[in-house]
Chains A and B, each alone.
Chain A
Amino acid sequence: NAGVTQTPKFQVLKTGQSMTLQCAQDMNHNSMYWYRQDPGMGLRLIYYSASEGTTDKGEVPNGYNVSRLNKREFSLRLESAAPSQTSVYFCASRGQGNQPQHFGDGTRLSIL
């Protein structure tokens, strides 16, 4: 029962580098989400995908892009990393109706 799997778990980047965070779920969920968590703050929604083939901006989308590759996979890309993007990134998925979101263990990203 893998649930939501995120890779990598840790990453250090230099300012200006690019990278893609990967997320996959095996629960056949339609909806998938990317959040960031910063110290002293709750999680904030970056982008979400209500279903395969659709993506929409959340609260803090600037500096990020996403791809819903198929029903299982939803990736988050940083095109030109900035120190302000140092954070813990969480991917989540949700089934239909009034269902809870299921979270991965997160990717801890540091940008120097």
Chain B
Amino acid sequence: KQEVTQIPAALSVPEGENLVLNCSFTDSAIYNLQWFRQDPGKGLTSLLLIQSSQREQTSGRLNASLDKSSGRSTLYIAASQPGDSATYLCAVSGGTTDSWGKLQFGAGTQVVVTP
């Protein structure tokens, strides 16, 4: 059974520092990996999706890497801002036809960026 772990559960950084969020998974047979942002009382917003054949994806200040063989992904957020304060979740999609789209989530990392 796939297990997804995010460490740390929470972190606080001063504005301007780079954020590094970690995600690990136990089964390397994945279809894709997604990073989401969740604001308090809100739904999830997709940030980046990395296909299993890719090593990284970038969008603006965000960069996500994927190392399938070691079961790890890292989300980098450059030059953090107070508006980046949120919970960040990673999720993996299974590698078999009947498990595509069925996401297995980590518990998330709660981020606070202090002015």
Interface positions of A (Cβ within 8 A of B): 4, 31, 33, 40-45, 48, 50, 58, 90, 92, 94, 98-106
Contacts and interface: CB of A to CB of B under 8 A. Distances in A.
B108 A98 contact: no
A43 B31 contact: no
A102 B31 CA distance: 17
Contacts of A101: 34, 44, 46, 101, 103
Interface of B: 4, 31-32, 34, 36, 42-46, 49, 51, 89, 91, 101-108
A92 B89 CA distance: 15
Contacts of B43: 4, 90, 103-106
Nearest to A105: B43
A42 B108 contact: yes
